Structure 1
């Protein structure tokens, strides 16, 4: 009678990456994404230059199409100059939809005129307007288990649309085109909120100094 010998094999099982992590690694690059995670863990500022894929996140023709074809009421879509919002009546008009309902829409010519005069166009919740932006926002939300939204800032010329200000949420900034000079300041209040930001004095020291991006 033959003795049966049962062999046991131990197989190393490699867990697959989550779809969200794969999306972010493809977008940032594996090394940049790991460096970003390290900076978040250490609560430090991180900047890097991404590949050309970031410029395709939202192209100018795509942004123009959003502005021209979507209903973007104030304050979701607004113009800002030197840190102050412009009156929405200066670049919106009342009209009627195909069903006869009263609506308010942007006047492209007025928007362009204000941009030429140094204003910045701001559009909130662009993750609902672009599938490419939504894919990145959803991946970030899944990986960090936080609600994630996207805001687009568009300006031309050399005027700055915003003065020194605080963001009351954790922020990732992607510069899609053009050139910009950044001043990054020290943290004077760990968790600024809308109720107290207006009363806070601008910080006097810069942690990371000035740097240019292009």
Structure 2
């Protein structure tokens, strides 16, 4: 198995997993160290901590459900420009970790190329935004106690072993902004699992769990947090697309008679009911979500004034869920990052090639489309300006 996310998807069960397990129950797939080759190693983590100024809360320690104060493992450094940042102290950092603290690094997908690819492919498969956090622990002390998350997670164990006690949900689909909190979990877990290197665990949101490196070994794992897409999100989208109707833009008749208020509500109810009765409402909603996803940060330096027509330059889309449609006149239209681009029909082959998410040279894109490198560079320049593509010189 490679570290490409489709392999993670296939191991979880692919379409069968989405149909039978996703959002319903936990799922464990066993693996080995080869399964996670190319993802974060301890050396990679050491390099990230060495070469980046990572402030709290992005980098933090936790123990027994509480954050460890930053002054216990770092000290403030004042620069000559009078800015202050927290410099890690390796000796006290090691002491805190040996004493039971858990190390947490948020959004490691923005700091490590292999994890970035993992996140991007998960986003493409699951059609939602993904943030990957890294956790390291050394003792049986639980970093966060027994808790639940407001989003689904996919856990990839990288090294060592981690014990997961799963207690199940006590409230269906809890949210971060909710009208009630889940009841406390039962005393006995419904599953008691030990993950070792290469294992993958899926856990739906709302499932109570407790995690510790209680097997006498240090542990390093990734938690891929999946952004939720709920009925509340659909209602918000619906309110946006209905603004073309006068009654939606009209002030609520707070000083009107009871009959006027009832008429106002009935008109809104009919609009909403008619819209929801359509056969493709969820499809349109999901396409809108895909179209407005945020692109991943990827500058194209040194090409600040335009992409030069050099055949060897490599181009890659930096969005995971672009959409390509063919307009009635045959022109391809690309939607990504909240923007739309319409191209001539000749550009269709190069756009289809870019949609695979890989890097392709300007020369290759020109060849498949039967266009000049200059024409392709011009098309790519628009995508780079729209922040949905990036150009570089090497893989």
Q: 2:25 aligns with which of 28, 39, 44?
A: 44
1:76-101 CA deviation, whole Å, 9 max, x = no partner?
11110011111112222111458664
Q: Is the 8 A contact 1:23 1:139 kept in 2?
A: yes
Distance 2:170 2:148 in 1: 10
Q: Is the 8 A contact 1:118 1:158 kept in 2?
A: yes
Distance 1:155 1:208 in 2: 24
Would the alpha carbon gap of residues 87 and 169 (structure 1) be closer, same or farther in structure 2, given more than 3 Å must change?
A: same
Note the aligned Cα RMSD (angstroms). 2.8
Distance 2:121 2:166 in 1: 26
Q: Structure 1 segments of 4 or more deviating over 6 A?
A: none
Q: 1:192 aligns with which of 170, 174, 179?
A: 174
1:15-45 CA deviation, whole Å, 9 max, x = no partner?
xxxxxxx94233x273544254344447221
Distance 1:29 1:208 in 2: 25
2:319 matched residue in structure 1:
none
Distance 1:46 1:128 in 2: 27
TM-score (norm 1): 0.77
- TM-fit CA distance, 1:162: 2.5
1:168 matched residue in structure 2:
150
| SS of residue matched to 1:178 | strand
Q: Does 1:179 align with 2:161?
A: yes
Q: 1:148 aligns with which of 130, 153, 158?
A: 130
Q: Does 1:70 align with 2:52?
A: yes
Would the alpha carbon gap of residues 71 and 38 (structure 1) be closer, same or farther in structure 2, given more than 3 Å must change?
A: same
- TM-fit CA distance, 1:163: 1.0
Distance 1:200 1:31 in 2: 31
Q: 1:209 aligns with which of 191, 194, 202?
A: 191
Counterparts of residues 36-115 of structure 1 (less than 5 Å)? 36-41=17-22, 43-51=24-32, 52-97=34-79, 101-115=83-97
2:10 matched residue in structure 1:
30
1:165-212 CA deviation, whole Å, 9 max, x = no partner?
00111111111111222111121112334567xx65531066742122
TM-score (norm 2): 0.44
| SS of residue matched to 1:166 | coil
Larger radius of gyration: 2
Distance 2:86 2:22 in 1: 44
Distance 2:70 2:182 in 1: 27
Which one has more relative contact order, counting CA pairs under 8 Å at least 6 apart?
1
- TM-fit CA distance, 1:127: 0.7
Return the structure number with greater strand share.
2
Distance 1:202 1:194 in 2: 16
Q: Does 1:139 align with 2:114?
A: no
